[in-house]
Amino acid sequence: MTCTNEQLEKIDNAMGALHGYVEQMGGGLTAWWINLGPAGSDEPSKRYALVTHHESDHEGDPDEPVWIAGLYSENYSIGDAEEYRADVTFDAAVEIVRGWRLIELRAHRRATIVDRIARDFVKLLREGLSDAAWGQLRFDNIANIGTGCCASHDFCDANMPMAEAFERHVGHEPEGDCERDASFWNDAWRLAQRRDLTEQGSIGASHVLLDEGDKS
């Protein structure tokens, strides 16, 4: 089975469009590994797709159903795919990979939005608190790790800065009965609390606790 120049060009163009890179495998087999994250991202996806063909048909006529598409995590092993589709044509393998990439890009976009909400929430919350209150909030949250509670509510109506940050990045006011809105809200809050609203490491002797009347 021999690929024509036109068929080889088709394969090269399709793999180039997917930003795949070539890896020579045993038996003269060629494989293309494709990072499923957005091209040029500072934080590429940790999931990869593999497009290759049966070793016995290593010339890989794209019109023959000998192609393989696999989905792998960052620390991939050829025999340990999350998903695996074999005996498909090249065009079908490319469409399978495009589908996996679409799912991954949606997840990446969602994670980016959650991150931006969390960052703006922290910024707005910090602007409304004194240095002492901010330090106390972060200290108090040590006891809240894993509880689902946040000490920010003891110092202000923390829902207000979260609502402002949410609307800024989602494009509308949060709706309490909307599962998607609740997911953005909760994930952003958890991220902010873990990353910025909880004091990290040991507590130094210089930490000053607030009086009950000084939470502002």
Supply the range of the domain harboring residue 95.
5-107
116 falls within a domain: no
90 contacts 60 by C-beta, under 8 angstroms: yes
User: Do 154 and 89 belong together in one domain?
Assistant: no
What sign has the CA pseudo-torsion 74, 170, 126, 192?
negative
Total structural domains in the chain? Answer: 2
**Torsion angle of alpha carbons 118, 120, 124, 125, nearest 10°?**
10
User: Do 46 and 93 belong together in one domain?
Assistant: yes
Angle between helices 90-127 and 159-170 (to 10 degrees): 140
Q: Is the pLDDT of residue 210 over 80?
A: no
Mean pLDDT of the region 160-183: 93
CA distance 61 to 4: 8
User: Do 91 and 169 belong together in one domain?
Assistant: no
Question: Of 9-13, 28-32, 125-129, 201-205, which one has max mean pLDDT?
Answer: 125-129
184 falls within a domain: yes
Q: Is the pLDDT of residue 12 over 50?
A: yes
Q: Who has greater pLDDT, 18 or 134?
A: 134
pLDDT of residue 116: 95
215 contacts 136 by C-beta, under 8 angstroms: yes
What sign has the CA pseudo-torsion 60, 66, 72, 77?
negative
User: Do 51 and 101 belong together in one domain?
Assistant: yes
Q: Who has greater pLDDT, 55 or 198?
A: 198
Q: What b/e string do you get for 93-129 counting C-beta neighbours within 10 Å, with b at 16 or more? A: bbebbbebbeebeeebeeeebbbebbbbbbebbeeeb
Q: Who has greater pLDDT, 45 or 86?
A: 86
User: Do 102 and 168 belong together in one domain?
Assistant: no
pLDDT of residue 198: 93
Mean pLDDT of the region 58-70: 75
